[in-house]
Amino acid sequence: MSILSIDTRRANAEDAFGISGVHDASWKQAYTGLIPHKALQTMIRRRDPKWWERAISHSTRILVLESMGQIVGYATLGSNRVATLPQQGEIYELYLLPEYQGIGLGKRLFLAARKELAALNLKGCVVWVLEENDPAVAFYLNAGGTEIAEGNETFSGKTLQKKAFAWN
């Protein structure tokens, strides 16, 4: 019997390549057919390992999920970007490789990100999700999030609705 050992920890410079790979695969899976092809390609190309290396060395908090030396998920977090919302923290991104989804690891990374926000003394947490990203919406509802705001974002001329879930 093989045992899948999974570790959640803060990212370091050596993780840039692995995070970039998770970003590429998970964004393609989540957003193909939703975000226009060209805009999606541009966003993915921009987030190359160099981009992640800079993000890790700057102030962005990044957590990774590591399995047997491979980065299989990441989360980025920090201060809430929308001043009108009372929650102080925000999880900006939470993404897992497709083959590692649906086995409890998203929940584990989400809880680790919440813990990290608390350690930063940021009270409450917000997550923005594209409304048509059904699996993610279901995940955050299941995690006890309350829908508190709506917005939209335009990608290559296509406007998509998004909503914010909050935890206090």
Q: Which residues bind ligand COA (CB under 6 A)?
A: 26, 30, 94-96, 101-107, 129, 133, 135-136, 138-139, 142
Nearer to ligand COA, 52 or 139 (CB): 139
Nearer to ligand COA, 14 or 99 (CB): 99
> Cβ of residue 92: shortest distance to ligand COA, in angstroms?
9
Nearer to ligand COA, 86 or 135 (CB): 135
> Cβ of residue 24: shortest distance to ligand COA, in angstroms?
12
Collapsed DSSP state (helix, strand, coil) of residue 134? helix
Is residue 10 left, alpha or beta, with left meaning phi > 0 and alpha meaning psi from -120 to 50? beta
Q: Are 85 and 52 in contact (CB under 8 A)?
A: no
d(CA 21, CA 17): 6
For residue 32, give the DSSP letter.
B
Nearer to ligand COA, 100 or 121 (CB): 100
d(CA 57, CA 100): 27
> Cβ of residue 73: shortest distance to ligand COA, in angstroms?
7
